[in-house]
């Protein structure tokens, strides 16, 4: 078999193995290793490539952002700041139709700015927002749908682990990727809120909660109480994002400073004891090891594609088809959404971005803008069956057997459609992601 044939067969085999249920890291690493072995006919060459992939992953300081931001997000969740954000947002939006839904979106947007994790947001606000909305008459489907839908903001609004992973794969600046995610993240938050208001007017039976008295903790929250609750969050945002954009710290240093600040806040609030700290550290280790192993396997996969010359061939093939850039991006978005139904966002980035990068560069597309398109498109998969990671995260956390997976998927459908509309806007108007760079 030629290198090209092996490369194509390897990509198809990786997707087939993932569909069959094999762990993504194993599928990527094993098939890539064997593929290089077949192409070169010498087992020492793939062993050498694997050694380089491991060395590059553990030695590059950029990868330190992953455990640091994961640690910060876990400490923030442990310290109960998510509930503080929700209380304040609830007070602001409680008089609007569908106000608790909008409050959940707003709280998730703020929470995303200090955690960068969709799964963390889904877990936290399932415990906080769903019982509150159910108490005030909102339907179960809407309650879980708005939590799942707004949780994806954690992957777009900086700091975001997915933006960091894309920056590494595409060799782009992490700081620029963070800047590029701000406007699309705000746009998606506003689009969600507008959609909720429209649904409250035209589909009130789906949302429920109309005419409720909203006698919740937010009603007893005065101006001083609101400022007091938001001060720690504002401090974290200032330290992390202000430090990066102000040129005071690098993204890695911002992660360290944010983790230390979050720890100091948690200790001051007496919400993190030794046992809680140990749990946070262990979970940070788990998250980091999973992501780094995935990146090592993906690095091996990228090297296999390079040996097979598949990215160059793929770019030449699309150029030979005389496809317009719009057609290429349409094909790319369709692949993102289809893959998003079975695998997580990080894996999608690591699998198909190396294939499309040469084609995008051939058309003169901006790689920072392409990264935002990639993350938004892949995030739609977090809300769609059969995988829907945010949906499964909510199902695993929620303590209500009457709410099925089908209910959660139905509830997230309007949010997935809204995400697709925002994605089309980001593709049509690249300035939305490039204006702040």
Distances (CA, A) of 86 to 286, 378, 410: 28, 27, 24
Tokens (6 digits) for 125: 């606000």
Own/partner long-range contacts of 274-280 (Cβ < 8 Å, ≥24 apart): 276/78, 279/78, 280/71, 280/74, 280/75, 280/78
* Burial of 322: CB neighbours in 10 Å, binned 0-12, 13-18, 19+: exposed
Are 218 and 85 spatial neighbours (Cβ–Cβ below 8 Å)?
A: no
Largest CA distance in the chain: 73
DSSP 350-400: HHHHHHHHHHHHHTT--HHHHHHHHHHHHHHGGGSTTT-HHHHHHHHH---
CB 110, CB 92: distance < 8 Å: no
**Residue 264: which residues within 8 A CB-CB, separation 6 or more?**
none
Provide the domain limits for residue 166.
3-434
Residue 199 CA to residue 204 CA, distance in Å, equals 6
Residue 185: predicted pLDDT: 92
Main-chain dihedrals φ then ψ at residue 138, nearest 5 degrees: -70, 145
Query: Quick one: which of 360, 55, 104 has its CA closest to 352?
Result: 360
- pLDDT tens string, the chain, 437 residues long: the values are 666 778 778 878 877 887 677 777 788 888 888 888 888 888 888 888 888 878 776 676 767 777 887 788 788 877 777 778 878 887 888 778 788 889 889 888 887 777 666 766 777 778 778 887 887 888 989 989 998 888 888 788 887 878 888 988 888 988 899 899 999 999 999 999 999 999 988 988 889 865 444 444 445 556 666 777 888 888 888 888 788 778 888 878 888 898 899 899 888 888 888 888 898 899 888 878 877 787 788 778 777 877 877 777 777 777 677 778 888 899 899 888 887 776 677 778 877 888 888 888 888 889 999 999 999 998 887 788 766 767 777 777 776 778 888 888 899 999 999 999 999 999 999 999 999 88
Q: Which residue has the tokens 């409720």?
A: 212
User: What is the rounded CA–CA span in Å between residue 75 and residue 277?
Assistant: 8
Which residues sit opposite 138 in a β-bridge? 208
CA–CA dist 287, 106 (Å, integer)? 26
Q: N- to C-terminal Cα distance for the chain?
A: 45
Which two tokens mark 232? 């720690």
Tokens 């909008």, residue? 102
> Between vectors from CA 78 to CA 73 and to CA 80, what angle results, nearest 5°?
100
d(Cα 173, Cα 28) in Å, to the nearest integer? 25
* pTM of the entire predicted model: 0.77
Rg, C-alpha atoms of the chain:
22
So what's the pLDDT on residue 25? 79
The tally of CA atoms less than 13 A away on the side-chain side of residue 79 is 27
Assess whether the previous peptide bond of 333 is cis (omega < 30° from 0). no
- Kind plus residue range of the DSSP H or E element containing 413: helix 405-428
Domains contained in the chain, number: 1
């Amino acid at each position: 078999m030629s290198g090209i044939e092996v490369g194509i067969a390897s990509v198809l085999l990786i997707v087939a193995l993932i569909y069959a249920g094999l762990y993504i890291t194993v599928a990527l690493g094993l098939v890539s290793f064997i593929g290089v072995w077949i192409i070169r006919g010498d087992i020492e060459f793939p062993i050498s490539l694997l050694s380089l992939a491991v060395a590059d992953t553990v030695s590059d300081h950029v990868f330190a952002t992953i455990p640091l931001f994961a640690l910060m997000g876990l400490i923030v969740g442990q310290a109960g700041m998510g509930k503080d954000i929700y209380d304040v947002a609830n007070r602001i939006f409680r008089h609007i139709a569908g106000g608790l839904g909008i409050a959940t979106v707003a709280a998730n947007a703020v929470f995303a700015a200090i955690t960068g994790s969709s799964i963390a947001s889904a877990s936290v606000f399932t415990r906080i927002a769903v019982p509150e909305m159910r108490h005030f008459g909102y339907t179960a489907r809407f309650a879980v749908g708005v939590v799942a839908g707004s949780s994806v903001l954690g992957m777009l609004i900086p700091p975001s682990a997915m933006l960091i992973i894309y920056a590494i794969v595409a060799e782009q600046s992490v700081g620029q990727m963070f800047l590029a995610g701000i406007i699309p993240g705000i746009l998606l938050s506003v689009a969600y809120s507008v959609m909720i208001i429209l649904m409250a007017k035209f589909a009130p039976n789906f949302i429920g909660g109309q005419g409720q008295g909203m006698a919740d903790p937010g009603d007893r929250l005065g101006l001083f109480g609101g400022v007091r609750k938001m001060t720690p969050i504002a401090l974290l945002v200032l330290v992390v994002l202000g430090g990066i954009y102000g040129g005071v710290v690098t993204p890695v240093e911002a992660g360290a400073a944010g983790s230390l600040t979050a720890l100091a806040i948690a200790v001051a609030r007496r919400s993190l004891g030794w046992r809680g700290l140990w749990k946070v550290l262990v979970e940070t280790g788990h998250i980091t090891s999973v992501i780094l192993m995935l990146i090592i396997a993906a690095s091996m996969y990228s090297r296999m594609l390079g040996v097979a010359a598949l990215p160059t061939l793929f770019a030449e093939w699309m150029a030979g088809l005389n496809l317009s850039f719009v057609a290429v991006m349409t094909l790319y978005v369709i692949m993102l959404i289809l893959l998003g139904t079975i695998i997580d966002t990080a894996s999608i980035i690591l699998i198909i971005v190396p294939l499309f990068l040469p084609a995008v560069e051939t058309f003169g597309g901006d790689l920072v803008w392409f990264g935002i398109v990639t993350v938004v498109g892949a995030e739609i998969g977090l809300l769609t069956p059969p995988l829907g990671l945010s949906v499964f995260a909510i199902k695993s956390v929620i303590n209500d057997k009457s709410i099925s997976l089908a209910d959660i998927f139905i509830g997230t459908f309007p949010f997935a459609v809204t995400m697709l509309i925002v994605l089309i806007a980001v593709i049509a108007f690249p300035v939305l992601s490039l204006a702040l760079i």
